[in-house]
Amino acid sequence: REEKLTCQGCGVAIQTENKDKPGFVPSSALENEEIICQRCFRLKHYNDVQDVGYSDGDFLKMISQIADTKSLVVKIVDVFDFNGSFIKSLHRLTGNNPIILVGNKIDLLPKSTNLNRLKQWMKKSAKDYGLTVQDVFLVSSKTGKGFDEVKANMNAYRQGKDVYVVGCTNVGKSTFINYLINESTGTKEAITTSYFPGTTLGFIDIPLDHNASLYDTPGVINRQQLTHYLSKQDIKTITPTKEIKPRVYQINDKQTLFVGGLIRIDFIKGERQPFVLYFANALDIHRTKLEKADQLYVDHLGGMLQPPSESSKAEYPPLQERTFKVSGEKTDIVLPGLGWITLSGEPATIAVSSPSDVPVSVRSAII
Ligand code: GDP
């Protein structure tokens, strides 16, 4: 007899197939009297908030519950992958609640980054996506930088109300919440799992005071992230683990740069000038003549030009070209999930080829 089991902690349907999906329980644990999913288990016993990938439908259903609350929404993005980690449908789901935007992982940015300019760009980009945010904060959940400010402001903006923390997978939402919990309580009893009767979807509830809570919401997988096309090893190569070091190339027109085999940058027209590259230090850059670039890509993708590696190159989407004209001010060409290239402002026409799902954008230079 098939019995439908649900988690005693959050109410999600129990499954034993996939440990990265909601409701996972190792089959051996099905014998237990009280069955709780792995996510609730870790939370209960290790005080550790773990992210599992919810399907888009579950996610949307869950997040749209926020519209019926009176709360503050804290939206986390990865400063290194702003466009890729921005959930565009969010403002339709969270109702009229105020939103603050938190850019995480600033420890990866070079020290010389102009954080104010980065904030302005984030605010404007959010607006271009149709999302008006009250404020933007920058933090590192790894080092704790920026937490005093974000905590004080969260308290000020929430005006006694609940807080919902949202963000797509891998932005560091769990790390952010764990940091907040450990900082503010220092105890292991801070988290309780909550149960929302009538839904199969549970938020994780962290009491802020007697009347209000902070809720962790599950991360959605955003298909516009480059990482979805890559193997684990490739992702390791493109993901910076420490402060990125700029690399400077003096480029003549009719030259091409390959960023691994992921993205191609053609300098179509302009005087010789520096291209300053901000990517993970482990990611290889290759320079060639524009006229040779097509053939080089065909011959060496997955080999000299990697990631994508030989085994994952078949999955990698074809590149689509977009042309940018830069002049006047120092400009960044932003490649979501990878990094960016700074041009001096000397007139230049460049063509950037990337997967069509991964939107390349420009901003005033942040360094
Ligand atoms: P979630 O899926 O949004 O919950 O993300 P996680 O908290 O699991 O973090 C995803 C990855 O980013 C992990 O490898 C973390 O170690 C890393 N990470 C999280 N916050 C930071 C940060 O502030 N700086 C750096 N360098 N890495 C971070």
With bands split at pLDDT 50, 70 and 90, how would you rate the model's confidence at 55?
low
Q: By three-state DSSP, how is residue 351 classified? A: strand
Q: What pLDDT was estimated at residue 98?
A: 95
The three-state secondary structure class of 270 is: strand
CA-derived radius of gyration, the chain = 22
Task: Annotate 101-126 with DSSP letters as a single string.
Answer: EEEE-GGGS-TT--HHHHHHHHHHHH
User: What total number of domains does the chain contain?
Assistant: 2
Say if 12 falls within a structural domain: no
Phi, psi of 129 (to 5 degrees): -85, 0
Q: Are residues 187 and 144 in the same domain?
A: yes
325 lies in which domain range?
A: 228-364
Residues 122 and 155 both lie in one domain: yes
Same domain, 188 and 300: no
Q: How far is CA 87 from CA 58, 82, 174, in A?
A: 15, 10, 17
Question: 240 and 192, same structural domain?
Answer: no
Residues 53 and 166 in one domain: yes
Ligand 1 pocket residue status of 337, Cβ below 6 Å:
no
Residues 238 and 111 in one domain: no
* Substitution site in 78, 113, 175, 180 for ligand 1 pocket (most atoms within 8 Å of beta carbon): 175
ipTM value > 0.95: yes
What does each C-alpha distance from 333 to 126, 271, 341 come to in angstroms?
17, 18, 5
Name the residue with higher pLDDT: 179 or 106: 106
Q: Decide: 173 in ligand 1 pocket, CB within 6 A.
A: yes
Looking at the domain assignment, is residue 154 inside a domain?
yes
Confidence at residue 47, expressed as pLDDT on a 0 to 100 scale: 57
Q: Is 172 in the pocket of ligand 1 (CB under 6 A)?
A: yes
Q: Mean pLDDT score of the chain, rounded to an integer?
A: 86
Residue in the structure block whose two tokens are 């009229």: 96
pLDDT digits (tens, 9 = 90+) for 257-309: 999 999 999 999 999 999 999 999 999 999 999 999 999 999 999 999 999 99
Output the residue whose Cα is nearest ligand 1's atom 19. Answer: 172
pLDDT digits (tens, 9 = 90+) for 230-242: 888 898 899 999 9
Q: Provide the b/e sequence for 279-291 (b: ≥16 CB within 10 Å).
A: bbeebeebebebe
Does residue 169 have its Cβ closer than 6 Å to ligand 1? yes
Residues 197 and 322 in one domain: no
92-112 average pLDDT score: 92
Written as one letter, the residue type at 267 is: F
Domain boundary among 195, 216, 237: 216
The structure's pTM equals 0.82
On whether residue 1 sits in a domain, the answer given is no
Would 222 be classed as within a structural domain? no
- 171 plus 247 within the same structural domain: no
Does ligand 1 lie within 6 Å of residue 240's CB atom? no
Position 194 pLDDT exceeds 50: no
pLDDT of residue 190: 44
Least confident of 148-152, 197-201, 252-256: 197-201
Give the pLDDT confidence of 110-141 residue by residue, as tens digits.
999 999 999 999 999 999 988 999 999 999 99
Please state the rounded mean pLDDT for residues 309-325. 93
Residue 101 has pLDDT above 60, yes or no: yes
Show the tokens assigned to 113. Answer: 């980054």
Q: Which residues contact 182 (CB under 8 A, 6 or more apart)?
A: none
Q: How far is the CA of 270 from the centre of ligand 1 (A)?
A: 39
In a domain, 205, yes or no: yes
Report which ligand 1 atom has the smallest distance to the Cα of 175. Answer: 7
User: Which own/partner contact pairs does 29-32 have at CB distance under 8 Å and 24+ positions apart?
Assistant: 30/5
Which has more pLDDT, 209 or 192?
Answer: 209
pLDDT tens-digit map of 330-347: 999 999 889 999 999 999
Measured in angstroms, how far is the CA atom of residue 102 from the centroid of ligand 1? Answer: 13
Percent of the chain with pLDDT over 90: 55
Whether 99 and 152 map to the same domain: the answer is: yes
